[in-house]
Amino acid sequence: MRNVIEIECPPELLIGLHSNAEQFAERIKREAAYGLFRDGSISSGVAARWLGVPRAHFLMDAMRHGAALLENSDDDFRRETSLP
């Protein structure tokens, strides 16, 4: 099953970002994955699968976007090890 979310944006936004709708959609998807991982809503494995990249690749990019890989808490460890 595939879920699609539609987001409206004014043409000026795309022009200002020197982007087209497809590039902007990919950017929003990546930023959402980083943010959801950063706040603990999804695991790195889920985020990587969503973006279609290897988990190690996602983790390296997520660190560049301000994500801490592990907070050394029991909850964080369980979350990261419970999903493939």
Q: For the chain, how many residues are written? A: 84
State the CB neighbour count (10 A cutoff) for residue 45. 18
Q: What is the pLDDT of residues 49-66, one digit of tens each?
A: 999 999 999 999 998 887
Q: What is the tens place of the pLDDT at every residue in 11-52?
A: 999 999 999 999 999 999 999 999 999 888 999 999 999 999
The structural domains of the chain, with segments of one domain joined by +, span: 11-82
Q: Locate tokens 């050394």: which residue?
A: 72
Taking CA atoms, 19 is separated from 43, 54, 56, in Å, by 29, 25, 27
Q: Do residues 71 and 46 make contact, with C-beta atoms less than 8 angstroms apart?
A: no
- Kindly state the average pLDDT of the residues 69-75: 65
- pTM over 0.85? The answer is no
* Four-CA torsion 36, 37, 41, 46, nearest 10 degrees: 100
